Amino acid sequence: GQQVMQIPQYQHVQEGEDFTTYCNSSTTLSNIQWYKQRPGGHPVFLIQLVKSGEVKKQKRLTFQFGEAKKNSSLHITATQTTDVGTYFCAEGGSWGKLQFGAGTQVVVTP
C-alpha cells in the first residue's frame, strides 16, 4: 500500500490564487520526489528533496521538506491554467524505487 498520504485529494483554484498541497507520512522519509501528471499524460519529475528542512524553488513552485522528514509541501503562487494536473509526492526507497501517494488533482478556473 501507499505509505505517503496526500491532502487535499482535489484542489479547485481560481487563476491567480495561491495554494498548497501536502504530503504526510507516519515514518521518517529518506527522500521525497514530486511529479506532475497532466490529464492524459505521464508523470514528469519536478524535484527531489533529501535534507531535513530543505526548501527548493522553481519559478512559482516552492517545495519544502519537513524538519522531521515526515512531511513535505508544494506551494504554487499565482496559479495559471498551465498548472492543471495531478501532483504526486513519492517516497524514495532502495534501488530508486518510489512509493507514490494518491495525488492532488488541481483544477484551475479562469
Considering the complex, what minimum distance in angstroms separates the CB of residue 16 from another protein? Answer: 27
Give whichever of 9 and 14 is closer to another protein, judged by the CB atom: 9
Which residues within the stretch 17-36 sit at the binding site for another protein (CB under 8 A)? 31, 33
Considering only 24, 62, 77, 99, the residue that binds another protein (CB under 8 A) is 99
Buried b (16+ CB within 10 A) or exposed e, 5-26: ebeeeebebeeeeebebbbbbe
Spatial separation of the C-alpha atoms in residues 58 and 48, rounded to whole Å: 12
Considering only 14, 18, 27, 44, the residue that binds another protein (CB under 8 A) is 44
Residue type, 76: I
Residue type, 22: Y
Check binding of 103 to another protein (CB under 8 A): yes
What is the number of residues in the chain?
Answer: 110
Size of the site for another protein (CB under 8 A): 22
Residue type, 105: Q
Contacting residues toward another protein, per CB under 8 A: 2, 31, 33, 41-45, 48, 88, 90, 92, 94-103
